[in-house]
Amino acid sequence: MTIYIGNLSFNAEVEDLRNLFAQYGELRQCTLPLDRDTGRKRGFAFVEMANDADETRAIDDLQDVEWMGRSIRVNKAEPRGGGGRSRH
């Protein structure tokens, strides 16, 4: 399971997220997507932890918590759809 973190401060760095989520267990991956055109942060991130129980606890504990001046949204990430137009 991957965690989606939304409404992030644009000052947040990957290391900040690692520090926040490390208290819940071992992290496998942490990504902070950038806008393709501007190179700026997009205000959300994804965190994958080694253990599903730790991920669930992090989601429950951090939902709507104020962090770096913003009330963050923390949810299970949903897989992206195929997107785009049908080729038919």
Q: What is the pLDDT of residues 36-74, one digit of tens each?
A: 999 999 999 999 999 999 999 999 999 999 999 999 999
Tokens of 30: 């942490």
Residue 47: inside a domain, yes or no? Answer: yes
Longest CA span, the chain: 48
Q: Could you tell me the pTM of the whole model?
A: 0.86
Residue 9: domain span: 2-76
Label residue 84 by pLDDT band (50, 70, 90).
low
Residue 88: inside a domain, yes or no? Answer: no
Q: What's the total number of domains in the chain?
A: 1
What phi and psi values does residue 18 have, to the nearest 5 degrees?
-60, -45
Which CATH number characterizes residue 30's domain? 3.30.70.330
Residue 9: inside a domain, yes or no? Answer: yes
Please state, as a whole number, how many other Cβ atoms lie within 10 Å of the Cβ of residue 84: 6
**Whole-number CA gyration radius for the chain:** 14
Residue 51: inside a domain, yes or no? Answer: yes
Residue 87: inside a domain, yes or no? Answer: no
